[in-house]
């Protein structure tokens, strides 16, 4: 398996396919690079070089006890980008991966970056506070911690229902997609997954968003039950200097998978535009 070894000795797995302008995909919690399979195949066929990695303690990367925080995730991403010498890069981040992409720019700048796509992304801040009343109460994230700690196998299975909007009237449930989510989640390490909950819920990415000085497409479903749009995309689009907000009516948190053709077309038009 292709890996890089980071400065702290952690092996990070990645896929690197095709030739052309590079697009790097950053996955959500608790998934892996495999969540982007449809996008990797589609954009590779469109003449792009497509790259996706498993975040440390996720998928096929090393499961570490320490370093499962956003500063390290962003630095791991920087090491991967530099090891592969990616330039004129399009960064695509979903959910937690959107925080990772934003924080990468906040820490390492846009010297190698041409455009950014955030989909169902957590920035600027998911947590409900006095200054962020649209956010999600801490009790919800404590429940995620509890479910992951006590029986993550069942918790991940249950999570697929709101994640993909399968609890909505008329939803066509894909058991295969649910099983793929579960499999990716169970490949990861529980310690890193528990640590990561804080990173997607309690970290404020506002200052990172301000530094994304390249064209930015923010895609979000207005029926996202995991990362509600009012506390995330609506605010992020006002903070990132060159952002365009695209709202998918009725879109769920996993719309890159459940509405892949529509999402892929939107991103392709943005990259070419």
Active site members: 95, 224, 253
CA angle 34, 2, 123 (to 5 degrees): 45
Q: 34 and 184 in contact (C-beta within 8 Å)?
A: yes
- Kindly state the tokens that stand for 176: 């295969």
- Pairing mode, if any, of strands 216-221 and 3-5? unpaired
Q: 84 and 51 in contact (C-beta within 8 Å)?
A: yes
Question: CA–CA separation, 176 vs 186, rounded Å?
Answer: 15
State which H helix or E strand residue 204 sits in: none
Cβ-in-10-Å burial (0-12, 13-18, 19+) of 7 comes to exposed
Q: Which residues contact 208 (CB under 8 A, 6 or more apart)?
A: 102, 103, 105, 106, 123
- How many CA atoms does the CB half-sphere of 203 hold within 13 Å? 25
- Kindly state the tokens that stand for 144: 């995620």
Question: CA–CA separation, 40 vs 257, rounded Å?
Answer: 12
- How many CA atoms does the CB half-sphere of 175 hold within 13 Å? 0
Q: Which residues pair with 50 in a beta bridge?
A: 17, 23
Longest dimension (CA), the chain: 49
Question: CA–CA separation, 137 vs 133, rounded Å?
Answer: 9
């Amino acid at each position: 398996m292709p890996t890089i070894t980071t400065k702290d000795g952690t092996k990070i797995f990645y896929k690197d396919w095709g030739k052309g302008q590079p697009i790097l995909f950053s996955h959500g919690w608790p998934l892996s690079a495999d969540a982007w399979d449809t996008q990797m195949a589609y954009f590779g066929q469109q003449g792009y070089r497509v790259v996706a990695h498993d975040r440390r303690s996720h998928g096929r990367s090393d499961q570490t006890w320490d370093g499962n925080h956003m500063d390290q995730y962003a630095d791991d991403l920087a090491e991967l980008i530099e090891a592969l010498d990616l330039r004129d890069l399009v960064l695509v981040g979903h959910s937690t991966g959107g925080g990772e992409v934003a924080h990468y720019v906040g820490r390492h700048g846009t010297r190698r970056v041409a455009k950014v796509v955030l989909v169902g992304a957590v920035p600027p801040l998911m947590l409900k506070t006095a200054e962020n009343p649209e956010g999600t109460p801490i009790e919800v994230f404590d429940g995620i911690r509890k479910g992951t700690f006590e029986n993550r196998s069942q918790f991940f299975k249950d999570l697929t229902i709101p994640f993909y909007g399968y609890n909505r009237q008329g939803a066509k449930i894909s058991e295969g997609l649910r099983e793929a989510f579960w499999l990716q989640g169970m490949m990861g390490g529980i310690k890193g997954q528990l640590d990561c909950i804080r990173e997607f819920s309690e970290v404020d990415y506002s200052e990172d968003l301000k530094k994304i000085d390249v064209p930015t497409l923010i895609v979000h479903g207005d029926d996202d039950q995991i990362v509600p749009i009012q506390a995330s995309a609506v605010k992020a689009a006002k903070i990132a200097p060159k952002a365009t907000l695209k709202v998918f009516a009725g879109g769920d948190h996993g719309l890159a998978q459940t509405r892949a053709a529509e999402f892929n077309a939107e991103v392709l038009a943005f990259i070419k535009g």
